Structure 1
Amino acid sequence: IKRAKITNKRLASIVRRCAAFSPEERFADAAAVKKALLETDGRKQKRLARLFGAAALALFSLCAGFTVGRYTGFLSPPAIVDRVQFAEPLIERAVRVQLGKDESEPITGEDLLAVREIYVFGNEVSKTDEAFTDGLGGWLRDTPRGELTTLEDVRMLPNLEVLYVNYQTLTDISPASELRYLTTVSLRSTFVEDISALSGMKQLNNVCLFDTHVSDMSALGSYPALHSLDIGRTPITSLSVLPDIAGLRVLLLHQTQLASLDGIERFSHLEQLDLRRSMLSDLSPLLSLPHLQAISIDESMRGAAKALESPPFEIKYE
């Protein structure tokens, strides 16, 4: 059989190398053979270059697309946060304490839905009211009166249940009228005169008006759940200003200027009564209260207490 002659010297050399007996003389692998074959023809080289150029362009485009998609989050503008603004720094601080957020973290409208309580005393805020239990008689004795002038911010707290705002220059509580879930309101030592904004609060059961300027107590009659009321050191001089409150269990009248206890029999469910520093000389009307368990008085009223002889309730001297 006559062997075909390979005219292309370069190709002939490749064939001989492929058939070489010694491994050192042969191509290392198929890739090396392919490379040698492609280099045998200049036109093939040009065509191959164009092919590889097109492939390289396609690969670059693919990589670029992947990169843009992968890092879109870094290139896009940051999402807009629904950050709320407060009118009163004290309210904002009280809210941040409840949410556990520091000043660098934004507060959103959704965050505010979780706020159930706020506690403010002077310029101090707290997670609970425990820190303020002793009022000005404890560690807060030298604290300045807070400068809270509006409760406008509480409109953003629709689920608020406890509003504790004490020792402030506050006079107007009208924004609180929108807080339909309130159970406890403490306005102790504020300049508030009008509590009509709290009228009709169906769940309100604990109200503190101690050391306020409130003299019109009529709104209290619209709280069907009210069982604890503190109206100590208010301008009242007679129990006649109090509406009938069927479920009242605890009544604090300390440091009032009551002329007498006439009318106390209307609160037949009373269990505890605070009369300290009220200067009352006749406690006999208390004998008309069938559920009364204990009263608190001071030493100046010891004579009036002894006149009761053997009352059915406990007398505490404080």
Structure 2
Amino acid sequence: MPNLRRLQISLDSKAVLSPLLDLDNLESLSVLTTPFPDFFTKTKSENITGLQLNVSGLASLDAISRFQGLKSLTLSEFSAEKPGDLSSLEHLAQLSFRRCQFQSLDGIQRLSSLQELTLQEVQVSDPSALAECAKLRVLTVSQNQKDLIKYAQALKGVRLRVVGSGLRRVLG
């Protein structure tokens, strides 16, 4: 298993992480259940460029900042006032939030390489940080996010994709 590059797993609080510690070539990791705190401190992070996590049990996303080589990050089931400061993820080009709730998107504008953002089934009260995402080119939202769609249509240089229950439409 030392050459394993992609892994999708489901962990529980009794999971043994030692097999993950020896995966030097792991590039993409998908954890289907809420990872526990040791997951972030014991998983080798140097080579991981893709990460998918269900983070319903986390109070903040600070621990994710140690995965500094990330190019793609998908987070599900996270609820907070704002996503937080992920600016240390300077290579992050694709960010997806699924089934999350935020008061604002403040913090995403500090992702200097962010080109593609997905806000699927995301409730957000203040999307104004989107206007400050200099490299953002593609924004994907759910069809039921009417206010967000209206706001996003005014963003210059950003292609808007609307998805949901069989619908996929590209605007702009």
Count of aligned pairs = 158
Q: Which among 109, 116, 123 is matched to residue 279 of structure 1? A: 123
Match of 1:193?
A: 36
Paired residue secondary structure (2:125): coil
- Supply the RMSD in Å over aligned alpha carbons: 2.3
Bigger radius of gyration: 1
* Uncovered stretches (5+) of structure 1, i.e. residues with no partner: 1-156
Is contact 2:85–2:108 with CA below 8 Å preserved after alignment? no
Contact 1:217 1:243 in 2 (8 A): no
Aligned runs of 1:241-260 on 2, under 5 Å?
Answer: 242=86, 244-260=88-104
Distance 1:163 1:212, change over 3 A: farther
Instruction: Report the residue type matching 1:240 in the other structure.
Output: G
Distance, in Å, in 2 between the alignment partners of 1:308 and 1:260 is: 14
Once the two structures are TM-superposed, the CA of residue 236 in structure 1 deviates from its matched residue by 4.3
Q: Does 1:174 align with 2:6?
A: no
Q: Who is 1:288 aligned against?
A: 132
Q: Quote the offset at 1:159 in angstroms.
A: 2.6
| Contact 1:284–1:308 (8 Å) recurs in 2 | no
What is the TM-score normalised by the length of structure 1? 0.45
Label 1:293 to 1:239 Cα distance change in 2 as closer, same or farther (>3 A).
same
Corresponding residue SS for 2:69: coil
Q: Work out whether 1:231 is the aligned partner of 2:75.
A: yes
> 1:164-206 CA distances to partner (integer Å, 9 max, x unpaired)?
11xx463335221222221011012x2422222225x211100
Q: Which structure shows the higher helix fraction? A: 1
1:285 counterpart letter in structure 2:
A
**Higher RCO (CA 8 Å, separation ≥ 6 residues):** 2
Q: Is this contact kept in 1: 2:87–2:110, CA < 8 A?
A: no
Sequence identity percentage? 21
CA contact (8 A) 1:193 1:212 kept: no
TM-score, structure 2 as length reference: 0.78
Structure 2 portions without partners, runs of 5+ = 164-172
CA contact (8 A) 1:216 1:241 kept: no
1:291 Cα deviation after fit: 1.2
Distance 1:173 1:252, change over 3 A: farther
Q: Indicate conservation of the 8 Å contact 1:218/1:243, yes or no.
A: no
Q: 1:297 & 1:308 partners in 2: Cα distance?
A: 9
